[in-house]
Amino acid sequence: MPIIRPLSEVPTARETCIRWADAEWGAVAGFTIADWEEEYARIEAHPTDEVFVALEDGVPAGMVWLLEHEGIDTLQHLTPWLSSLVVDPAHRDRGIAGALIRHIEAYAASGGDQRIYLLTETPAVYFSHGWEVADTAPLGEKSVFVMQKNLTLAASVA
């Protein structure tokens, strides 16, 4: 299993995390590398937003973000959000996404959150972790699934 740390504890992984975000969502978000730099600086300055990095043998293998809000006006009443889950292609299919999902659930639960939410086009990634589809929401020109998990029932989070 990977070791999972806040990005602030592994600053050498920052450029890799920016590259992952840009590769996965740069085009759809209309973000440049400078925009991602700004977004990471915003997260670093935010009191509760956090980027977590999974390390395999010391090498950055994946990341997930915990955000207070996901930026959709109609969903501002829901918090917090699992966001930007990505595993480096060279490290996929070894359970790293699962480890990151469980980590962020446990982190949110330890902070007192009773539910956690996410937006995705691929809910199948999360079903086996006890997440359910709660709604759909417009994101740009797409419709995405709003998923939720009740953390008070999450007996398996470590």
Ligand X SMILES: CC(C)(COP(=O)(O)OP(=O)(O)OC[C@H]1O[C@@H](n2cnc3c(N)ncnc32)[C@H](O)[C@@H]1OP(=O)(O)O)[C@@H](O)C(=O)NCCC(=O)NCCS
**Cβ neighbours, 10 Å, residue 15:** 13
Q: Which is nearer to ligand X, 46 or 92 (CB)?
A: 92
Q: Which is nearer to ligand X, 45 or 49 (CB)?
A: 49
Q: Which of 51, 97, 139, 146 binds ligand X (CB under 6 A)?
A: 97
Smallest gap from residue 1 Cβ to ligand X (A)? 11
Q: Which is nearer to ligand X, 139 or 151 (CB)?
A: 139
Q: Which is nearer to ligand X, 112 or 136 (CB)?
A: 136
Q: Which of 98, 130, 135, 148 binds ligand X (CB under 6 A)?
A: 98
- Residue 131, classed as helix, strand or coil, is coil
Q: Which of 27, 34, 90, 124 binds ligand X (CB under 6 A)?
A: 124
Q: Which of 125, 134, 137, 154 binds ligand X (CB under 6 A)?
A: 125
Count of all residues that appear for the chain in the document: 158
What is the spatial distance between Cα 117 and Cα 107, in angstroms, rounded to a whole number?
14
Give the number of residues in contact with ligand X, rule: CB under 6 A.
Answer: 16
CA-closest candidate to residue 83, choices 46, 57, 112:
46
Element (H, E) at 94: none
146 touching ligand X, by CB under 6 A: no
ω into residue 80 within 30 of 0, thus cis? yes
Residue 50 Cα to chain centre, angstroms: 9
Residue 25 Cα to chain centre, angstroms: 13
Residue 3 Cα to chain centre, angstroms: 16
24 touching ligand X, by CB under 6 A: yes
Q: Which is nearer to ligand X, 45 or 90 (CB)?
A: 90
120 touching ligand X, by CB under 6 A: yes
